[in-house]
Amino acid sequence: MTTSNSATRVAIVTGGSRGIGRAVVERLASDGYHVVVGYRENRTEAEAALQVIREADGNAIAIAADVTDETSVVELFDGAEREFGGVDVVVHAAGVMALAPLADLDLDQLDRLLRVNVRGTFAVDQQAARRVRPGGAIINLSSSLTRFARPGYAAYTASKGAVSAITLILARELRGRDVTVNAVAPGPTATALFLEGKDEQTLAQIAAEAPLERLGTPQDAAELVAFLAGPARWINGQVLFANGGAI
């Protein structure tokens, strides 16, 4: 196995300007990776991530990319290779959520959700499969909701079930490449995406479901991503649930 030193490894993180992606960006940078912060529109948040990394003597750049547009994804990877010489780790954390009972969900919302969460995973993983160097890792973000069967989450859960399936198959398609492919499936995590529209009572009820009796943090997920990105070379083709034991 040929795994390069973490001080010279390069990581692309989609959705890297906020939420779990932001925590992953900061964690990998602290581990010595050169990091490419992929973001869609919010340059201000991406710049804030870069500032945190640079203040800690890390090395990072930000590149705008729409994960649903294959040309944009190609440009993201091209930019990483131009700046840092190659790609070792790809963390696909970009995603959107639409909540409603199945009978009430606007199908236009469903189309957008599937385009971002499923097509986006395909587009990012295609480039990762072609470009990640030996000793590298591809890590997708799925969700523990694939086990919760929570009402109102049919569309989002279906999309994340697809992410898990893509992950398991890609791991087997990369046989012989010395590249691991895994998914992290967080439980309820205190991000802006999750907290939006929920009152304190609802949040307390959800937090109480786990034996650890709290919501997850973006840093909880980032710890697992960092493990899969670096030392966890014998973990491959798996979906790892990070939810405090809720299921």
Enumerate the H helices of the chain as residue ranges. Answer: 19-30, 43-55, 70-84, 107-114, 120-131, 145-148, 154-173, 192-195, 200-208, 218-229
Domains of the chain, each with CATH number or no CATH: 6-242 (3.40.50.720)
N-to-C CA span, the chain: 35
Q: Is the pTM of this model over 0.85?
A: yes
Q: What is the pLDDT along the chain (247 residues), one digit of tens a residue?
A: 334 444 489 999 999 999 999 999 999 999 999 999 999 999 999 999 999 999 999 999 999 999 999 999 999 999 999 999 999 999 999 999 999 999 999 999 999 999 999 999 999 999 999 999 999 999 999 999 999 889 999 999 999 999 999 999 999 999 999 999 999 999 999 988 788 888 899 999 999 999 999 999 999 999 999 999 999 999 999 999 999 998 7
- Rounded to an integer, what distance in angstroms lies between the CA atom of residue 46 and that of residue 76? 14
**Active site members:** 156
pLDDT, position 114: 98
pLDDT, position 4: 41
Q: How many CB atoms lie within 10 A of CB 166?
A: 19
